[in-house]
Structures are given as C-alpha cells and as structure tokens.
Structure 1
Amino acid sequence: MLGAGLPSAPTVATANLTLDVSGVGAATELWLRCHRCSFFGPPEHEATSETPAAVKASLRILGGTSTANAGAIPWVDITDATMVLADAERVQGGLKRGGGLYTARMKLTLDGATKARLISGVNLVQFRFNGSDGESNGYRVIDLQFRNAQGQSLATNAVQRTDINAEKVAGRTLTTDVAAGEKLWKAENTLLKSTLVPRQIRAACASCHASDGRDLQYFNYSNNSIVQRSRFHGLTEAQGGQIAAYLRYALRDMAHVAQAAPWNPPYQPGAGLDSKPVTEWSAGAGLDAVLDSPTDAVKALFGKPLDGSALALTQADVDKVMDVNTTLNTREVPLPIQFPDWNSYLPAIHPLDIWPTGADAAGSFEKGATFTADNRRLDPLGTSKKITAWLESHRSATFGDWSHLTPQQRNEIQSLLKPSGFELYAFLGGGRGNHLAKTGLYGSQVGAAQLQKLASPTRVATEPAAFTTNAFIERVVGSALQWNLVQQWEWAQRYGMEGDQRWFIGDYDATAKTWAGRGEKRGWPFNTVSAFFLAPHMVYQQDTDAAGKITREWLLAWETGNKPGSYTRTNAWYQMQVTLNPGAQSDWVNYSVDWPYLTGFDSLLSQTLGDATPAQSTFALMSDIRLLQARIKSAQFVNNNIPLWVPTDTRSIINNRGRFSKAAVVKHLNPINFMEAVSTQATQSSPFRRLDKLQAGLTLKLLNGAFKQFNQLYTATDPAIWRRCDPNNMDLGEADPTAGFSFCLDVTKQPLTLKSPGVYVMASTDYRSTAEQKLQYAVWKAGTLGADPDRVKTLNDWLLRVWP
C-alpha cells in the first residue's frame, strides 16, 4: 500500500480471498498483520500543500461485490477503536502515534451486513492508504485471512508475495537506465522534502540510505517501493524506475537473503542464526521468532524446547545458564519483544538539511564546528569519511576476512571507531534529557533553531506540545543518531565486519606490539554511541515548568499520551544493542549497552503495564523475563580482569579504571534484586514474583542462581583490593556510598534495623541503601525464603572477611 502520499489521491488496492460454502458460513472476522499501519514519527512542522492524513489506513470488505459497485460500502479506518489488536500490540502502545510495535496483528469483527456480502468463491477486500503525515508513504499488509470463531484461516487460496529475487535477477542486465539512475541516486539538491512539502532538500537518496543503496537490496524492498518513495520525494515514476535499475545492476553480486524484508526486524534473535552465513545475520529470525508466551520465553532463556509442555526447570537447569563463566547467546535466544524495523534506522531528516552549510556557519555538519569550551573541533561527517577510507584501503580480497591486520592496524581502526559516535554525541551536546548548553549553543540547539525557522504557524497550532523548542531538539538528536546508525550498518555490511569482534576490539600493547582481542563469534565492533542511543529515553529533551520542575521526561514530545508504546520502543532499542554488541568483557566494549538503563526500563515497562488485566500482566511478565536475561548477561559481561580499584590513579574517582570493573555492578547483581526487599522507607517486591505463576517455586531457583552468580564474581576477591567508600567524596555527583556510579564497599558495617521481632529492614537515606546494608539484608532474607544454605553461607563468610 505505497504511493506518493497526497490525501487528495489516496492509494487503493484490492486483495482476494477464496471461500467455499462452509467458509462463508463460518467466517466471523478478517484477520491481518500490517507493517506500519499507523504513523510513528513527529507531526509535520512545515506548511503543507494539503492537510496531512489523520488516519493512515482504511479497509472495506466487498465480498462478492465488484469494485465498480463498491461505492456504497463504507471504509473502516484502521485504529485502536475499530480493530481488535493482539494483546502484545494492544497493551504496548496500540496504533496510536508512538506505538511500541511497527508491525501489528489485528482483526475486524464481521457484522451482519458484511457477512451477507460474502460468497462462495472469490471475495474482495480493499485497502486504502489515506495519505502521508509528511514522513510516511504507505504501509504493507503482509498477512490476510478470513477466520472462524476458533481463529482458523478459512480462505482456500494461498498468500502470494512478489518474488523480489526475480526482480534482482532481471536487474542484472545493463540498460541505459542504469547510468541515469546512478546520477539520480547520488544527486544533491534534486529531491523534494515530500509530496506534502514540495521544498527542495539538500540530501540525496545516497545520503539517508547506505551510500551504495545496499540496504534496499539487502532488505528486499521491491522495485515498486523504490519507485513510490522516489515519487514521494518529487521524482517521476520513470525516474524512480531508473533508480531501481541502477541499484539492481550495481548490487547484482550481493547475495539474496530471502528472510530479509522491510517488516522483519533486523537482528531479531532466533534459534540457528549463528549457523547461517554471517551475511544473513542482519536479516534476523523474522517476526515469527518474537515470543508471545511467557512459558516459551523462559524456556528459550534456559535452553529448553518450545514444545507446548509445562515449564519444569530444575535447579541444575537454572544454574547452567546463571553462570558467569558461560556465554548466553543473545543472538539465538528468542525474545518476547519486537526489534525496530529498518525504516526506523533511516534519518527522518538528514543532517545536511538540519544544520547550516558552509565552512564558517555556526554548527556546520558539513564542515565541522566548535561547540566545546576547550575549542575542540568536532567533525562527525569528516570522521565518517576517514573510517570509510581506512576500511576501503585495508580490506582483503576475501570478503569479511580481517585476519590479515597487524596489531598496529587493529589499534588504528579501533582508535578511529571508538570515538566516532562520541564525537557525534558531543556535536549534539549535553546528555540524555538535557541538550542545552549553559553558555552558547550546542549543535542540537543550532539545528533545532534552523528547523523552527521553517515551522508553519498553522501546523504548530494543531498540536503545540509537539512543536516546542525541546520537541525540535528531539527531532534533531534523533535524526543525527539515525544517520550514525546507518553509517555503522553500512560499514558492518559493506566490509564484512560482523564476523568476529576480536579483529577490531581488544587491547594493544605498544611495547610488545601485540594485540589481545576480545569478543564473541559475531557482533558489531562499534564500542561507541550506537543503536542504544535511538531509544526515546536517550533522545528526549526534558520539559520543565517556570520553577524548574520536570514536567516531561523519558518519552518524546509527541508521545506524551502513549507511555507504554514509548517505553516499549526504548526497551527494544536497548535490548537490540545487547544482541548487536554481545560483549567482549572490557571497559569500553559494549559501552553502548548501559546496563542500568536496560534493566531500569525492563522494570519500568513492567510496572507501567501492571496487573490490571490478564493481558497487561502477561506482558509485564515478559518484561520481567527480559530483566532476568539482562541480569544473567551482565553478570557474564563483568566477569573480567579489570582491577576493582587503581589506587595509584589520583585523578577524580569518576575517571578511575575501577569504575568499569565488576565493582561498579555489585549493587545490581546483589541477590537482593531477586527477592522482596524492605528498608525503613520503602518496600520492594520481587521483580520475578510473577514467574511462580508459570512454575511453582521458580523464583526460589532463580534466587539460588543469583547467589551462584554473585559468589562466582565476588567472594573470591580479597577485601584489601576494594576501594572503601568516602561519604564526603562528591566526584560521582552525589555522596560516594549511594552514588549511581559507586564502585566501593562501605568502610564499616552497620547492623540491620530490627523492625519487629525477627523482622529486619535496611537503613536508608532518601530511599537508597548502601551496598553493605543490601548485602547483609540479602543474607538474612534469603534464609527466611529457603535459599540454598551453602550458597548463602559462602556469601556471608565473605562479608565477615570484608567487615570482620
């Protein structure tokens, strides 16, 4: 359902489903799976030639009525109000703007009039793309069925899909269109922003996509989709065809990956992916690998077959996975969350159309700019070009083989890749939730001001909260980080950099001129700002009132009515980074995964969904299971040789290498995070309490596993090598013992508080307890819960050595 996007000229297409007599009588619903059936991006801010569509998609069931006689049959808008969504889609944001899932399953209940139109034979169903919002030019219906009350498909004709490989094969022939298409693909100042905003833009097709267009070839975008997107940007249908001809011919040697599709989320985890060629990894395991059953999600995590049987994990099953000396494969363990689709990688606005051009322009993305007080020049575009040139000049004749690099060369490319994302983030300025400079302007502010100059008062009046200065900062930050991610994907794919992290990530010994690589058999080598930073929780710019009180945070300005959707997308980006950067156990590898943010949003989404309905409780439980996976993977990640504290480093403790060691996560991996916890000010329920609904006593097995992990990591360490907390040190932004970046143990032990006979609680300050209090409490509480006494004793014996 793709078109130029003018609301005055909607795109209409007709599908046919064949029913026999029994099917006509049994049909109760029309079921479909739709990719991007609703709008996701911010509302258009510029003056439009027509009013943007409010509802993206509509359908109507003609049955045996011909299209020529369909005028009296009303269209049904595809919205939360008219469709019955599958539980996962409904509770995680639905079809409202900012919904959590890009592909949604839904059904339309057939009323009497509709059922009366069904016939034995061919039945017609029409879909309409009502028009663009200024960003999207359509949607895709990827499954369609008439179903009975039991959810069984009734149509007798099979779903047919366009054979994109046939289009690729046909495009291997050189024609006169190829040269014209190449010129159009690379030409700047040729495209229009959109059908609704017919203003020329700077960016070329090659600017927002992979420079050679390999993303369109890899993810099997059809010729029609390339043509229609070209029309959306002001080109003719013939010119769109020329671009398609160029891409097919120029990329004729790329392997066809059938699983790759615009709707199949890149890198979606699934069984068997590692056994396929590495070039197929980006295609992911497909939408069908996304789990809907909590029982299946737990089975997948603990390596059990998804066979429909009841959950029956033993302690040995749990211990096998909750082991810091093993490696949980986050590429192959199916997850109960849908990863972002490829369209969500692509910049909504290219940086060249955000920032002023010219060498001396303030905040120039094209030439670089200075925003920092130390007068450092920031040039993320220039750095990207340097990386591409290095990779081009050092690649081997065998695709994806980087074993020929010398230790010095490995250090060279790591030294280019690691700061690249940080440079862009510094260009944008500030940090999560705050991209405002105390003096002068950050790049995000310069870019936002440029966009605001183009804002139409008429458009702004439609939804003022979505057009504030902070909302424009979010547009700028999000688009720049999308550009960054597309660069990384292109490097990974074009140069075969996904096969072995150890080629690009490791430690270089300049004296011995040796390289010690780290990592897993597959993973991105970009230990820098990456996919993680596209989460709404990273992109948002907080709103405050006149008194400085925060009035909006953690979600984008145009998503304020859809926390479940926004939080789900944050969780998806965070989880996806764990799959992309599976870890190489060092200070900087896996930087992009900020584990407290990942686990924090696992918990926050669970709390937001709650237990008000069975469906909400189910998907809250799904988030709890992802939290469990994160706790296990992070425990394995921190099992490294980074010193817990470097006492000879006299700089601020925030710069001490020990801050990247396992000392920094003692508070997160403490078994207290697996149990009920009480302080003098607050009560914490076990985040895994819902799991006992799946298998009685499972939470206790997990608690035992948590003790095993913690003991493996910490109880063999000498108390003398730990840094002791200094309550007067504020280098970490707050008092050392309870600071978020704390990596110390308290100097002395304070007895737990006796709340009532036999019941103890932790001492707290502003609802926060120190590591010492939490460890003591974990030992006491575990005893009351029936945890393995030997594991509890091992921890307690260490505590007695730490605080004799």
Structure 2
Amino acid sequence: MAAVMVTAGLLVGCGGDGGGTDTGPVGTTPPAENPASSPASPTTPTTPTTPTTPTTPTTPSPAASGPTTALQLPLEVLGDGLPNTPVVATANLTLDAAGVGAATQLWFQCHRCGFFGPPEFEATRYAPTQIKASLRVLGGVSADNAADIPWVDITDSTVTLADAERVQGGLNRGGLYTVRISYALDANTRARLVNGMNLVQFRFNGTDGESNGFRVIALQVRNAAGQSLATNAVQRDNIALEKDAGKTMSDAVTAGQTLWNGRGLLLKSALTGRSIQAACASCHASDGRDLQYFNYSNHAIVQRSRFHGLSQAQGQQIAAFLRYSLQSVPHVAQAAPWNPPYQPGPGLDSRPLAEWSAGAGLDAVVDSPADAVKALFGQPRDGTALALTQTDVDRVMDATATLNTREVAMPIQFPDWNAYLPAMHPMDIWPSGSAGGAWETGATFAGNGKLDPLGTYKKIGAWFQSHQNPNGVHGDWSHLTPEQRNEIQSLLQPSGFELYAFAGGGRGNHIASSGHYGAQVGAANLQQLASSTNTAREPAAFTTHAFIERAVGSLFQWNVVQHWEWAQRYGLEGNQQWFIGDYDASTKTWKGRGEARGWPFNTVSAFYLAPHMVYQTDTDSSGKVTREWILAWETGNRVGSYYRTNAWYQAQVSINPGAQSDWVNFSVDWPYLTGFDEYLANEIGGTTSAQGTAGLLSRIRLLQARIKSAQYVNNAIPLYVASDTGSLINNRGRFGRGQVLKHLMPTSFMDASSTQGTAYSQFSGLSQLQSGLPLLVLNGALKQFNQVYASTNPADWRRCDPNNNDLGEPEPTAGFAFCVDRSKRALPLLSPGVYGMTSVGDRITPEQKLQYSVWKAQQLGADASRINTLNAWVGRLWP
C-alpha cells in the first residue's frame, strides 16, 4: 500500500471531517493527484487506479546541520480518502541531550482523529476504513529508512486521552471533536530519539465515507511531569497570507466559480464514485463564506474537492474563486476549523460583531469544577481557592437579571463547523421524482398540504437583501419600521416549522399512521442505494429507522447553515430586539425583546441538531422501546451521544436563547437542556475521579441552565388562558413560567426524601469545592423561585385535573404540566420529626414539593426571610 506524503504544516481541510481552506508554506510538495478522483458518470463508478508513488518529504534529515527548524502547525493530514493511498504527514521536534533522556510521551491535540458520522451504506470501491489515524515516532531515523518502524493505530486502547475526552465518549463517535492525546514512548521508541531533530509521522488511513482527514493542532514530546521538551519554535500557518495572495483576478477565479456552483459535477465521495446533484454551494454557505471565515486552507479546499471527485487543478480553481470573491469577509484570526463556533468566553461581547461567530476558542473550555463555578459567578480564574459569598451567588441567581451566556466560559466543547454541514443535501435525499414531491419543487406528504421550505428560505433571503440599511453600515437594522419588523418576524418564525413539517412527525417519531412523512420517503430513497456488503458490517446502523435519522439530521443541518449564512451575510447577530418582539397592530408600534447579541431566528434552529432531536425510536414486536434519544449508530457510545446533545443544547443558549418568547421551546427547550445535563452526569457515573469530575462539571452546567431558565420565563406570558379551548398542548400558558415550575422548585437544589426514597441533590458535590456552597446555592434558588412565582395570583393558575391526559399522561405530574394542585395533602411523616413527600411511580405533585421545600429549607438553615416569602405564597395557593 503506497502512501502520499506531506511535510509538517502543509495541510488544512474543508467539509466532512476535513473541510476547509488553508495552504501550506511555499516550496512544499503537494500530495500526488489520483486520476481516480475525476468526476464519474451518475451511474457508473470510476475504476480505481494503481496506487500513486509517495512524494519525497522536504523535511531536512536529522543529520543536517544549521539552525533549528520550526515545527509548523497545524499538521493537516487530509486527502481524497481512498484507503489505497493513505496520506502521511511528517513533523519535526528538536531535542537536546537532556530532553532525549527525559522523554516519556508524545502529546498532541487532534481535531477529528476519530470518525463521527453514520457509516457508509452505498457500494464502495474499497471497504470503508475503520481506524482513521495512525502514528509512529521515527526519532533520528529518516523517513526514507523507516520501513521497519511499525505504525500504531490511534485508538482508545493504544493512546491515553485527557480525562474529559476519555470518560465522555473517547475517539470514535465520542462527545468531543478535538481531543488531547498522550502516547507512551516504549524503550524501542526512546532508543530512536537523538540529540537534534526527531521526526514524528501521522497517517490518515482512509475515509469512512464522510471524513477526508484530521488535523494535529499541537504537538510535544513530554517528560513524566507533562513538561514539553522540544527546543524548536512553533510556527503557525497564517491564513491571512493566503487570503491576501488570492485577491488578484485570474482565469482560475472564473473557472472556480463555475465549479463551485455547478450541479451534477461532484461524487458523493471518491470511495463510492457515485454522482450527486448537490454543488459545493449547496451544502456550504452559498457563496462559500464559511470556508473563508473559519480559515480553512487552500489545501483543504483542494483535498475536499478531490474527495468529491474533482481534480487537484479544479480544487485549486475553487480556492482561487473563494479567495477572490470573498475579500470583503473580515479576517478573524481566532476562527479556525477546530475552534467551535460561538464557544463562550470572557470579553466576546466587547469584540467586533464580526468576531463573535469565531467563539473564544478551545482554550475557553473549562476542565476544572472550581474554575467552572468561578466563571459562572463572575470570579477571576486565578488559581486561588473558591471563596464565594451569598452576595456573589445572589448577584447571578437573579431572575430579574440577564446572565450573559456568551461570556461565561463553559465546561463543554461546542460542536465544530464541520458538524453544522449537511452529511447529504436535501436535493439528493428528495430528488426530482420522489414520491409526494421533491426538495426543489415542494412536496405533499401525509397529513400536510404543499410544503416548500426551500422556496420560503429564498423568500427570506430576498427580504433581507432588499431591506438593508441605505446607510451601508453592515449589521445596522435600526431603520426598519415596526411593520417591517413584524413582517420579517412573521416570515422567520414559521419557516423552521415548515421545514420540520417537511420531515413530518415529531421528536422520536417520523412515521405516519397512514401514508408517508417526508422522512420516510427520504429514508426509502436512500435505502434503495444501500449495499449489502457495507450494511452487513453494522446492521443496527442500516435499519429503516437509521435511514430516517440520516434524512432528518441532514435536513436540520441544512437549515442551520442557512441561518448562519443569513446572520453573517446580513449582519443579523447584533441587537435581537430589531427582529424579535411584539407588534401592536392598533398602534403600529413594536416592543423588541432579546439580548445584545444573538440570532433572531425564533424557530427550529441549532437545538435540533442534537441526537436527542434527530433520533427515531426503535421498539420490539410488543411495542417496548429498545432505543431512544441516541442515533442508531451510537448504541455503543451513549455517553458520547449525550455529550453532543448537551453541546448543541448549550450552544443554542449562547447563540439564541429565544428572547423570552411565547414559544418556550424555540429556540431553547429549557426542560430538555436541564434534563440532559442530569442524564449525561448520570450516564458518566462516578466510580473514578475522572468520572466524578466530569459529572460535577455537567451539574455545574445544570446550575447555569436553571439560572438562565428562571430569567427566561420571568415574562408576561399568562399562566393559563381559560379561553384557549381544545388540547392543553396548545394553551398559551404552556409556554410561560408555569411549565418550568417543577424545574425551579427548591427541592431541585436539596436532598429530598419521599415515600419512595431519597433523591440526592445534583449540587451536593459543590461542597467539595467550598464548604457550605450548596447552602448558598439553595438560598439563591429560593430567591429566584420567589421572584418568578411568589407574586403570582393563585387565581391565575390552572388547577391540575388528574383525569386530563392532553399532555400525554395525567396532568398533575405530566412532563409538560403548567398547573398547581387543586388542594394540598399533609406531608407524610417518615420517622419521628422527619417529613417526606408522597411519591407515586417516582412522580410527586407540586403541592408536595412546595410544602417540603419550606420544611427542608428550614432544616438546612436556609435564609429565613426567603423561606417565609415562599411559605406565605404556599398559604395563598392553598388557604
């Protein structure tokens, strides 16, 4: 098996797992072009060619004299993905004699070193690769003489991941797209190290059908204490230079424009050899600005082009077009394929609006529980012991304030840009001639009239284009009239729901009782292309339900890319109040709602990319649920799936918390967010220190979500609208503060006993960080609960009806309940002087929780005035 070889610093990628636009330094040798990558006919796969001959690396040999050579990063290991021509990248690390003697491990940070997408289902030229990446440490041996040095596959069993990555999913289909890895150097490897230049090689073994490589963004030789030993400097690629070099018009620009927009020119992948209808412009931002903004390299564009069946020359033309046509897109150095968009961090709001999408970078992801608490409560992360006061806690746990979730560093890594990009374009899932209709012309599926989300989105884009401010200031929408604001809000809000209706059904169920929803039609179209050879490898990933998930997931990805493009092209990430608010038709006035920054799309958005929103429930012959909340190909890595659901939910809170809308589920469904913070913590477990830390970090995120949700629901939406006849599911009160009553209960912040046992507080672990901290948080919870509920009129509440099942189960304990009980019962006495709550089937009614909150808070020593305020309201609810 031959390999294409490149030197350190050469590669950066675009789309899939590579996806991007970064070229390497002048004078390096590009990977040899594989003739098999030329476009194929729509029906006949091209024939694989003889493996290419490896190019010669230009890295100086270890014996070369002269100045130390800098380590160039990122090290991009990208190619067309064909397993018969793996890509090898070589890096150099210089050690002195002391470093040679002390070296024990190779440490590196890798962007997408594992596979994350669904396994390939179509016929392929070669078997899809199972292990994506390999490495070997050559030390002082030149690459030309390294044939006898074995490659080591990078797997969870051969390397050691940092704790957060290891216990939250690992490499393949794990929770984090960028991971920190240590590889222990054995005696044979250490014997190859020399006083001088030492070589390390990474290999991309081939594609799974979706990815075309990975990136090493940091690389060190370390001693046992974790200290870096290499003495040569690190030089990072400057993508601004590539952008500057591409500002000149040429014939390549014109050719590249044609290729970028050309339909029917691409292969699904070089592995399948099947032609698709989607163009480059179909899955990315239509003008390619995502590749320019997130600083993908020219080389990455070229390699992704080759992955999709174009030649190297054609990929270079596409890169030329993008660089020339997108000169006006601001260069944001922080933006990178591995830096998660919108990752929160201190100071983001003070940066220019154009920089917000880049996020605060991977360094803003918090690993320490103490630092996570400090970040949440606005304390400096200075290495000192945690020492919060009640004033510090109350300042943040305030339902009348606005917690800035864009600037609070979070203990979770947001998804990278590649996770936004559609695995398949809707036009290739619902092509012309599909049953019920096609993506490009609209469709009629079971239970719905004609649906044309593409037409709707074109209309929205045209509206923004025609209504830009005449002053020419990007992102200034202050000129809009109240009528215009209402007009665009009326277009945006239903657009995501039309798209969802195109798929049909609801979360976990896209199967119609009669006829077929769009998700079923799309799944059937994809299944017709399935190869028994590939589907036999992992049967559970190729069921009808799994194909429904492929269709639904790609549809939601396409949706969010449209949102990002609108936000960037038209500067919509500023004042949300310009686009989200209440219009009074009688007075023709507008009352805006929202935060200083955020997407104005109060509809189906990033939240819906979570596996928990995409999955299709599996059941057995008796109707018993056998799989839910995770995707079909994630059954072996539930914790990784839960992490990614958490990441999308948390990202939505930063990108667009929804501006206290009537539609509490859009853009953030607060009960889902808080529920998965708990689910992930429980799934991780706590038998090891690393698991305990990860679980505590998840619960700190839960605390943030409880705080933010209290602020979010502290609005003027009625508690219950008696005149809203019909099912309770449509009552306006369901979208107000009543729905989260159970989540903001003080019982959610304390150990709570019932007739079925004791539920321990999710926040008791905070005492490990600071003695007495759980009590400070309980006091904060009492404060925010009283702010949201204690002033409400008991007559305004709906009283629970045990016989009403509109919400899917008896109303008093239903998941979406927004009522209080008709009467109260005395708390049961569990033992002398110790009360509990009456619990049936692990469900407890609001009146039991409220009474217990008063009693237990007193026992715990909570603030008396806050307890009295709560007790007085409970007395008014049930005199």
- The answer, yes or no, to whether TM exceeds 0.5 is yes
1:56 aligns with 2:132: yes
Q: Secondary structure at the match of 2:843?
A: coil
Query: How far is 1:524 from its partner?
Result: 0.6
Q: Secondary structure at the match of 1:139?
A: strand
| Runs of 4+ off more than 6 Å | none
Which structure 2 segments of 5+ residues have no match?
A: 1-76
Q: Secondary structure at the match of 1:717?
A: coil
Which residue in the other structure is 2:162 paired with? 86
1:3 aligns with 2:76: no
Which residue in the other structure is 1:700 paired with? 775
1:743 aligns with 2:743: no
Which residue in the other structure is 1:391 paired with? 464
Of 384, 408, 432, which aligns to 2:507?
432
1:309 aligns with 2:384: yes
Of 10, 14, 36, which aligns to 2:90?
14
Of 657, 681, 693, which aligns to 1:618?
693
Q: Is the 8 Å Cα contact of residues 466 and 558 (structure 1) preserved in structure 2?
A: yes
Query: How far is 1:109 from its partner?
Result: 0.6
Q: Secondary structure at the match of 1:624?
A: helix
TM-score (normalizing by structure 2): 0.90
Q: Secondary structure at the match of 1:68?
A: helix
Q: Quick one: distance in 2 between partners of 1:717 and 1:539? A: 37
Q: Quick one: distance in 1 between partners of 2:661 and 2:637? A: 37
Query: How far is 1:646 from its partner?
Result: 2.1
Q: Deviations over 1:340-389 (max 9, x none)?
A: 0000000001111111314x74242111111243x521111111111111
Which residue in the other structure is 2:674 paired with? 599
Q: Is the 8 Å Cα contact of residues 189 and 201 (structure 1) preserved in structure 2?
A: yes
1:205 aligns with 2:280: yes
Q: Quick one: distance in 2 between partners of 1:132 and 1:725? A: 55
> Mean alpha-carbon deviation: is it higher for 634-643 or for 363-372?
363-372
Q: Secondary structure at the match of 1:551?
A: strand
Which residue in the other structure is 1:381 paired with? 454
Q: Quick one: distance in 2 between partners of 1:507 and 1:631? A: 26
Q: Is the 8 Å Cα contact of residues 658 and 668 (structure 2) preserved in structure 1?
A: no
Which residue in the other structure is 2:60 paired with? none
Which residue in the other structure is 1:403 paired with? 478
Query: How far is 1:675 from its partner?
Result: 0.7
Which residue in the other structure is 1:608 paired with? 683
Q: Deviations over 1:180-204 (max 9, x none)?
A: 0000000000101101000110000
Of 266, 274, 297, which aligns to 1:191?
266
Q: Deviations over 1:626-679 (max 9, x none)?
A: 000000000011111111122333343322221111122111111010011122
Q: Deviations over 1:674-700 (max 9, x none)?
A: 011122224311001111111111111
**RMSD, aligned CA:** 1.1
Which residue in the other structure is 1:262 paired with? 337
Q: Is the 8 Å Cα contact of residues 582 and 590 (structure 1) preserved in structure 2?
A: no
Query: How far is 1:255 from its partner?
Result: 1.1
TM-score (normalizing by structure 1): 0.98
> Mean alpha-carbon deviation: is it higher for 751-760 or for 13-22?
751-760
Q: What are the equivalent positions in structure 2 for 1:405-804 lying under 5 Å apart?
A: 405-588=480-663, 591-804=666-879
Q: What are the equivalent positions in structure 2 for 1:68-217 lying under 5 Å apart?
A: 68-96=144-172, 98-217=173-292
Which residue in the other structure is 1:338 paired with? 413
Q: Quick one: distance in 2 between partners of 1:259 and 1:160? A: 16
Amino acid at match of 1:367: T
Of 69, 81, 101, which aligns to 1:25?
101
Q: Quick one: distance in 2 between partners of 1:679 and 1:218? A: 54
Query: How far is 1:582 from its partner?
Result: 3.0
Which residue in the other structure is 2:3 paired with? none
Change (3 A) 1:381 1:443: same
Q: Is the 8 Å Cα contact of residues 665 and 735 (structure 2) preserved in structure 1?
A: no
Q: Is the 8 Å Cα contact of residues 107 and 219 (structure 2) preserved in structure 1?
A: yes
Q: Is the 8 Å Cα contact of residues 435 and 521 (structure 2) preserved in structure 1?
A: no
Query: How far is 1:411 from its partner?
Result: 0.7
Q: Quick one: distance in 1 between partners of 2:615 and 2:726? A: 32
Q: What are the equivalent positions in structure 2 for 1:288-327 lying under 5 Å apart?
A: 288-327=363-402
Q: Secondary structure at the match of 2:455?
A: helix
Q: Quick one: distance in 2 between partners of 1:683 and 1:779? A: 17
Q: Deviations over 1:583-634 (max 9, x none)?
A: 4222137712111110010001111112100000000000000000000000
Q: Quick one: distance in 2 between partners of 1:62 and 1:691? A: 46
Which residue in the other structure is 1:347 paired with? 422
Q: Secondary structure at the match of 1:356?
A: coil
Of 259, 284, 293, which aligns to 1:218?
293
Query: How far is 1:729 from its partner?
Result: 2.2
Q: Quick one: distance in 2 between partners of 1:266 and 1:389? A: 26
| Total equivalences in the alignment | 801
Q: Secondary structure at the match of 1:507?
A: strand
Which structure 1 segments of 5+ residues have no match?
A: none
Q: Deviations over 1:429-484 (max 9, x none)?
A: 11111111111101000000000000001111111111110111111111110000
Q: Is the 8 Å Cα contact of residues 187 and 204 (structure 1) preserved in structure 2?
A: yes
Q: Is the 8 Å Cα contact of residues 342 and 357 (structure 2) preserved in structure 1?
A: yes
Q: Quick one: distance in 2 between partners of 1:555 and 1:586? A: 28
Q: Quick one: distance in 1 between partners of 2:170 and 2:797? A: 48
Q: Quick one: distance in 2 between partners of 1:661 and 1:428? A: 27
Q: Secondary structure at the match of 2:438?
A: coil
Q: Secondary structure at the match of 2:138?
A: strand
Q: Quick one: distance in 1 between partners of 2:724 and 2:425? A: 43
Query: How far is 1:60 from its partner?
Result: 0.5
Q: Quick one: distance in 1 between partners of 2:446 and 2:600? A: 28
Which residue in the other structure is 2:306 paired with? 231
Which residue in the other structure is 1:287 paired with? 362
Q: Is the 8 Å Cα contact of residues 543 and 552 (structure 1) preserved in structure 2?
A: yes
Amino acid at match of 2:725: T
Q: Is the 8 Å Cα contact of residues 363 and 446 (structure 1) preserved in structure 2?
A: no
Give the % identical residues.
Answer: 71
Amino acid at match of 2:199: L
Q: Is the 8 Å Cα contact of residues 256 and 317 (structure 2) preserved in structure 1?
A: yes
Q: Quick one: distance in 2 between partners of 1:14 and 1:720? A: 72
Q: Deviations over 1:72-115 (max 9, x none)?
A: 0000111101101100110000013x200000000111111111
Which residue in the other structure is 1:368 paired with? 442
